[in-house]
Structure 1
Amino acid sequence: MIRFEVTVKAAGGLHARPAALLVNIAAKSQSQVTVTRSLDEKQADGKSILGILTLGAGRGEQLIITVEGPDEEQVAHALQELFEQPEES
C-alpha cells in the first residue's frame, strides 16, 4: 500500500477536468485507489468520477491518496505527477 498527500492546484479546485484525469489514471490500473479529503476525511473511490466530484475539494486543499494493488507503484507515480503539474489559471 502506498499513501501520499497532494495539494489541489487547479484554479477551480478538483472540478470536472482534473477529476477526469485522476479517474482515467485510476481506471486503467488494477489497484484500488482511494482519495480522502484531509479537511473532513470524506473518502471517494478514485475510479468514480461522481465520487471524486462530490468531495468538493477546492484549490489549496490537501488530499490523501491511497493506492493498493499489483501496479500500485506505477499508479502512485502517475497520480503524483498529475498533482505536481503547474497551477492552472
Structure 2
Amino acid sequence: MPTRRVTITAAHGAHARPVAELVRLALEHPAPVSLTTPDGSVVDLSSVLSVMELGLAEGDEVVLGTASSPDAESVLDAMAGVLAPHG
C-alpha cells in the first residue's frame, strides 16, 4: 500500500479549507484513502467531519495511505502538498 508520511506545515493546521481539498481529492480517487495519526487513529478521507474531528494542528505528523493503483502516488503527492505546502 503506497503511503506518505507528512508533517503538517499548513498555517493553522488542517482547518476547513485544506480538509475540504483533501476530501475532494479522496473522492476523485478510485480507492479509499486513509489518514493515520501518531496515536493510531485512522479515518477515511472521504468524510470532512471525520477529519475535522481529529483537530490536526501545524506540526502534527500523519500518514496518508491508499490501495495500489496507477494514480496512487500522484494523489498522495497532491494530498501531501495540501498539508505541507511549499513556500
Per the normalisation by structure 2, the TM-score is 0.85
The answer for the alignment partner of 1:66 in structure 2 is 65
The answer for the alignment partner of 2:42 in structure 1 is 43
> 1:10: how far off?
2.1
> 1:44: how far off?
0.9
Residues 15-54 of structure 1, C-alpha deviations (whole Å, 9 max, x = no match): 111111111111111021000111x111111111111111
* Inter-partner Cα distance in structure 2 for 1:4 and 1:58: 17
How big is the alpha-carbon RMSD for the aligned residues of Structure 1 and Structure 2? 1.6
Length, aligned pairs only: 86
Structure (1 or 2) with the greater strand fraction: 1
**What does 1:12-31 align with in structure 2 at a 5 Å threshold?**
12-31=12-31
SS in 2 for 1:12: coil
Query: What amino acid is aligned across from residue 57 of structure 1 in structure 2?
Result: L
Q: Percent identity?
A: 31
Query: What amino acid is aligned across from residue 13 of structure 1 in structure 2?
Result: G
* Inter-partner Cα distance in structure 2 for 1:55 and 1:36: 10
Query: What amino acid is aligned across from residue 23 of structure 2 in structure 1?
Result: V
Structure 1 gaps, min length 5: none
Runs (4+) off by over 3 Å: none
